[in-house]
Structure 1
Amino acid sequence: MNFLFLNSASRGWGGNEQSISLTAKILSTQHEIVFAYRDEEIGSHLHFRKYRLPFLFEGDLYTIFRLTQIVRKHRIDVIIPSKRKDYAIAGIVSRLCGTLNILWLGARRELQNNRVNQLVYESLADGIIVNARQIKETLAKSGVVTERKIKVLYRGIDSTVLERYLQPPGNEAGRPMMITAMGRLDKNKSHDLLLRGFARFLDMRPGIDARLEILGEGNERANLERLIAELGLEGRAVLRGFCADPYPDLAYSDVFAMTSETEGLSIALLEAMYLGNAPVSTYAGGGVTEIIDDEENGLLFEHGDEKALASHLLKLYLEPEYRRKIAEAARKSVVERYSAERVEREIVAFCKELQASKHP
Structure 2
Amino acid sequence: MNFLFLNSARRGWGGNEKSVKLVAEALSQEHTVIVGFRAPHIGGRFKTHTRKLPFLFELDFYTIASLVRIVRKHRIEIIISSKRKDYAIGGIVARICRIKNIIWLGANRKLKNTCFNNLIYKKLADGIIVNARQIRNTLFESPFMQEQNIRVIYNGIDTEALKKVLREHRQKVSTVRDFTITAMGRIDRNKGFDFLIRSFARFVSANGGIKAKLVIIGNGPFKKQYELLAKKLGIDSAVRFTGFLDDPFLELCTSEVYASTSMSEGLSIALLEAMYLYNVPVSTYAGGGVKEIIENGVNGFLFNYGDEETLADIFLKLYRDTHLCQSLVVQAHTSVADRYRMQKVLDEIIDFCRITRKSQ
Q: Deviations over 1:86-141 (max 9, x none)?
A: 11000000000111100011111211111110000110000111101111011111
Report 1:164-179 matches (<5 A). 164-166=164-166, 168=170, 171=173, 175-179=177-181
State the secondary structure of the residue aligned to 1:219: coil
What is the match of residue 284 of structure 1?
A: 286
Distance 2:255 2:227 in 1: 22
What is the match of residue 38 of structure 1?
A: 38
C-alpha contact (below 8 Å) 1:190/1:259 kept by paired residues: yes
What is the match of residue 115 of structure 2?
A: 115
State the secondary structure of the residue aligned to 1:11: coil
What is the match of residue 13 of structure 2?
A: 13
How many angstroms does 1:267 deviate by?
0.5
Distance 2:3 2:322 in 1: 46
What is the match of residue 28 of structure 1?
A: 28
How many angstroms does 1:29 deviate by?
2.3
Which of the numbers 232, 244, 247 marks the counterpart of 1:245?
247
What is the match of residue 182 of structure 2?
A: 180
Q: Deviations over 1:147-179 (max 9, x none)?
A: 211111012101121111215599557610111
Distance 1:280 1:171 in 2: 20
State the secondary structure of the residue aligned to 1:208: coil
State the secondary structure of the residue aligned to 1:141: coil
What is the match of residue 344 of structure 1?
A: 346
Number of equivalenced pairs: 358
Name the TM-score, length of structure 2 as normaliser. Answer: 0.97
2:139 matched to 1:139? yes
What is the match of residue 202 of structure 2?
A: 200
Counterpart AA for 1:165? V
State the secondary structure of the residue aligned to 1:188: helix
How many angstroms does 1:356 deviate by?
2.3
How many angstroms does 1:302 deviate by?
0.7
Distance 2:56 2:91 in 1: 16
Report 1:264-343 matches (<5 A). 264-343=266-345
What is the match of residue 264 of structure 2?
A: 262
Distance 2:319 2:202 in 1: 14
Distance 1:86 1:196 in 2: 38
Gaps of 5+ in 1: none
Name the TM-score, length of structure 1 as normaliser. Answer: 0.97
State the secondary structure of the residue aligned to 1:101: strand
How many angstroms does 1:12 deviate by?
2.2
C-alpha contact (below 8 Å) 2:79/2:94 kept by paired residues: yes
C-alpha contact (below 8 Å) 1:106/1:264 kept by paired residues: yes
Counterpart AA for 2:332? A
State the secondary structure of the residue aligned to 2:286: coil
Name which of structure 1's ranges 74-83 and 169-178 shifts more when overlaid on structure 2: 169-178
Counterpart AA for 1:211? K
Which of the numbers 210, 213, 226 marks the counterpart of 1:211?
213
C-alpha contact (below 8 Å) 1:111/1:144 kept by paired residues: no
Distance 1:233 1:32 in 2: 51
What is the match of residue 232 of structure 2?
A: 230
C-alpha contact (below 8 Å) 2:77/2:357 kept by paired residues: no
2:47 matched to 1:47? yes
Gaps of 5+ in 2: none
Distance 2:29 2:310 in 1: 44
State the secondary structure of the residue aligned to 2:141: helix
State the secondary structure of the residue aligned to 2:241: strand
Please provide the CA RMSD for this pair.
Answer: 1.4
